[in-house]
Amino acid sequence: MLYHVRMDVLLPTDMDVDTVNELKTTEKALSQKLQEQGKWRHIWRLAGEYANFSIFDVESHEELHNIMMSLPLYPYMKVEITPLLRHPSSVRDDDS
């Protein structure tokens, strides 16, 4: 199942810099592992914002939920999730 996910990161302005750096480092490692596994298919930074658009390819709503909850920055995110379906006018037979 494909999902479009918008993640806006809202870190407290008074959060300790070392804590912020540790969260970002851990988040990056996990996101890259998920990308290598094919579960986090795409990630795009939104210019001028601490946010991204991502495409996830997972087996279920529950799997996506568990992935999102495992992200170190999740407690500091506003997340919008949209399930995706193939459009009948698409010229492609796959997700390329």
For 2-58, what is each residue's pLDDT tens digit?
Answer: 999 999 999 999 999 999 999 999 999 999 999 999 999 999 999 999 999 999 999
We report the CATH number of the domain holding residue 19 as 3.30.70.1060
For residue 37, give the nearest of 73, 78, 70 by alpha carbon. 70
Question: Within a domain: residue 31?
Answer: yes
Number of compact structural domains in the chain = 1
Estimate to the nearest angstrom the gap between the alpha carbon of 73 and the chain centroid. Answer: 10
For residue 11, give the nearest of 74, 66, 64, 65 by alpha carbon. 74
Give the position of tokens 């999102």.
68
For residue 50, give the nearest of 71, 32, 76, 25 by alpha carbon. 76
For 17-31, what is each residue's pLDDT tens digit?
Answer: 999 999 999 999 999
Residues in the chain: 96
The parent domain of residue 61 ranges over 2-84
Question: Within a domain: residue 49?
Answer: yes
For 59-94, what is each residue's pLDDT tens digit?
Answer: 999 999 999 999 999 999 999 999 999 888 989 887
Q: Residue 85 corresponds to which tokens in the numbers above?
A: 């379906």
pLDDT band at 96 (very low <50, low <70, confident <90, very high): low
